[in-house]
Structure 1
Amino acid sequence: MVLQPPFKTESANKNSRTINWPEGVTPKAPEGFTVTRFADKLDNPRWTYVAPNGDYFVAEAGTRKSANQITLLRDTDKDGKVDERYVFINNLNRNFGMLVLGNHFYIANTDGVYRYPYKAGDIKLEGTGEKIVSLYAGGYNNHWTRNIITNKKGDKIYITVGSASNVGEHGMDAEKGRALVYEANPDGTDLKIYASGLRNPVGLDWNPVTGELWTAVNERDGLGDEIVPDYATSVKRGGWYGWPFSYYGKVKDPRWAADPHEDMVKKSIVPDVPLGPHTASLGLVFYKTGNFPSKYKNGAFIGQHGSWNRSKLSGYKVVFIPFEKGKPKPAIDFLTGFIASDEKSEVYGRPVGVAVATDGSLLVNDDSAGIIWKVSAK
């Protein structure tokens, strides 16, 4: 991939403004799919976790204003609509990732990972939980999200932590424990860096064919309209992905010209799939089972929350990465229609989290509109 030189265009600032979805209007999916509201009237529903028993847990949290709670949703009669809704837990600290493992429910708050006693079917968590991993929560808190998943054996957990700055402008001491993926035992012991140099890794999932860990990464700002591309990539154990000294592998960031860290640049890994500049690609889920057409099997859906550092809006959609024998192809648009007017910088919503429902439909968290959309094959 050939990248545009840095500073070819000025660094733009174009924040979007969310307006209401018009009556009867939904995001647009390809032919053969229908889009409906699975749940609405949520308070910044950033992420959805589908528990092994089919319960849906929604993290309601945000950057500036945060509900700091998890809502439990149930579709008890399996008609594709939410029948039951409970406040599962509140008074959290910018909560995001969730996980059921054994007899515990894990919550990744911005300051650490907590686990609570839990059994399938519980509608409320009690107590304050046990903090098993402490995480640094200061700095550039737009990168407050902490995701968590487990492996197939259930004997390890993996935790994402975004950077404390755009490009290390506060010094690298402020980046200790940031811009990386951790690995630990389920009780938080034996905490290790699994991979680093990832500016803001958020979505995590396992490639169902190769078994590789994958993540979606929100890259840096300030170099112009067309760079740096966000990306989805396999995450190699011990891998270094360049941030903040280089981007897209070994392309040096000019803001580190006085101290280029040549040794770090040389070992930087080129990510697998570029996803466009400033798209805020955050959500990621592999489509492993369900009734979508066969071309979607084992591919990955990516939620793009949308740009602010670009003169023309980018992102604000869900894209799909087809895979063939475990290897990715270029991303294509899947769910669009979120931008109301580029000229007015108005959007109907901002897609972020993506998850696969128990019936094989795709759930898309539209956090700014307070809606979870459901995309079903006809």
Structure 2
Amino acid sequence: MELIARATAVVGGTIAFLRRMGSPAHQAFGATPDIPAARKQGIMTLKMPAAEGWKDGRLPVCAPGLKVNAFASGLDHPRWIEVLPNGDVLVAESKEQAGPPKTLMDHAAQATMRRVKAIGTSANRVTLWRDADGDGTAEIREVFVENQNQPFGMALVGNRFYLGNTDGIRVFDYVPGATALAGSGEPLVAFKPHGHWTRSLIVSPDGSKIYAGVGSLSNIGDQGMEAEEGRAAIWELDVATHEARIFASGLRNAVGMAWEPVTQKLWTVVNERDGLGDETPPDYLTSVVDGGFYGWPYCYWGKTVDDRVPQDAAMVAKAITPDFALGGHTASLGLCWMPDGTLPGFGAGMVIGQHGSWNRSKLSGYKLIFVPFENGMPRGPARDILSGFLSEDEKLAYGRPVGVTLGPDRKSLLMADDVGDIIWRVTGAS
């Protein structure tokens, strides 16, 4: 496998260099992005920095007026964060479980992912971290629940704790203040595993519904649409009846979700398809409506047809254009609403953890960014909150942003870093 990884790095680097000469000068960002025409790649671009981690006192770079510290460290691929009402912080530790590679491209992709610790043996647990003395660093660690199947999203409704495993949602009884769950939980909804495996969860403002992001199996329905049934969607689970249905579809890989408080709309970040160029199409942030269809796999950014896919004109006709482009292949995963006054110098808006690209000639993402909102919609350019996750030559990744949420004090952000194996805490500098 190491030999394949080295060969992939050499070949991928050569292809990336050649494609970089013709790559767009600007990212496709904003409400009206300039999206280049598709350029079919044939052999997909593979470019991934090696996982380095944080050494010799190196830290992420903060925006002016902010500071960052490690709230928790020594984790095993932390992906998602949930803050409980008593201030305890839950962290899902898991990673992709790669199946047997079927093609040479599968071998190359898996070798590339291993270089940055994206696939391997999964911890399959949720840990609890408690900052008992309030100094901004957790000093108590407990195993909250273990022996799960790639756990990711978490949600608490009353005294019932919901966990999004890759193969479905389970619910456990929760005792306030407890540092561990009892029992194996009750299965509520089954999802098809593999492919885009994360299962993010969010509770509706009234506590009656839980929404779950379920990504596609493949890039563009490569194994047929029957294999994609129930996928590339956001599901809705009724808390009282346990009935579940697809809420919105055509979302290739919707991960983070958040509620915008002015309009009470659900928003999500979506990872778009590969193989059409560095900026084509861009990942995006969008509001989500009940019954809405967002294009995958037939089209992107509204009704731009992907002619690699057997077409359905009726589906293209009803595709909804996303609200805000986030750049091509930024792998925008984490999402939370940040109220005005949380961080100095930043107003109200969405905070997005951009995990970073592996499939374009010039790397993108690898940042924690802020998109300001006004009257329920994005307004103005995005701003960096944390950067510095990549070496200048793009060969090393010190960290990769994933899940983000408000800290227990509501005056900080917590962000999972699955290469640094750290939960970072961002606050005002003074």
Residue 34 in 1 paired to residue 98 in 2?
no
- Matched residue type, 1:67: A
Unaligned runs of 5+ in 1: none
Answer whether contact 2:162 2:170 (CA < 8 A) is retained.
yes
Tell me which residue corresponds to 2:174: 118
1:365, distance to aligned residue in structure 2 (A): 0.6
Unaligned runs of 5+ in 2: 1-32, 97-118
Answer whether contact 2:67 2:426 (CA < 8 A) is retained.
yes
Q: Find the partner of 2:327 among 271, 276, 296.
A: 276
Answer whether contact 1:213 1:236 (CA < 8 A) is retained.
yes
Q: TM-score, normalised by structure 1?
A: 0.95
1:81, distance to aligned residue in structure 2 (A): 1.0
Residue 75 in 1 paired to residue 135 in 2?
no
- Matched residue type, 1:325: N
1:53, distance to aligned residue in structure 2 (A): 1.9
Tell me which residue corresponds to 2:91: 58
| Partner secondary structure for residue 226 of structure 2 | helix
Q: How many residues are paired up?
A: 371
Answer whether contact 1:51 1:99 (CA < 8 A) is retained.
no
| Partner secondary structure for residue 227 of structure 2 | helix
| Partner secondary structure for residue 238 of structure 1 | coil
| Deviation >3 Å, runs of 4+ | 8-11
- Matched residue type, 1:2: D
| Partner secondary structure for residue 62 of structure 2 | coil
Residue 356 in 1 paired to residue 406 in 2?
yes
Tell me which residue corresponds to 1:5: 37
Tell me which residue corresponds to 2:315: 264
- Matched residue type, 2:289: K
Q: Percent identity?
A: 50
- Matched residue type, 1:29: C
Tell me which residue corresponds to 1:23: 56
| Cα pair distance change 1:215/1:316, threshold 3 Å | same
1:341, distance to aligned residue in structure 2 (A): 3.7
- Matched residue type, 2:226: D
1:261, distance to aligned residue in structure 2 (A): 1.0
Alignment of 1:327-338 (within 5 A): 327-329=377-379, 330-338=381-389
| Cα pair distance change 1:241/1:176, threshold 3 Å | same
Q: CA RMSD in A?
A: 1.4
How far apart, in 1, do the equivalents of 2:342 and 2:211 lie? 29
- Matched residue type, 2:262: V
Alignment of 1:337-376 (within 5 A): 337-343=388-394, 345-359=395-409, 360-376=411-427
Answer whether contact 1:290 1:361 (CA < 8 A) is retained.
no
Alignment of 1:152-301 (within 5 A): 152-187=205-240, 189-256=242-309, 259-288=310-339, 290-293=341-344, 295-297=346-348, 299-301=349-351
How far apart, in 2, do the equivalents of 1:150 and 1:300 lie? 17
Q: TM-score, normalised by structure 2?
A: 0.84
1:187, distance to aligned residue in structure 2 (A): 4.9
How far apart, in 2, do the equivalents of 1:122 and 1:55 lie? 10
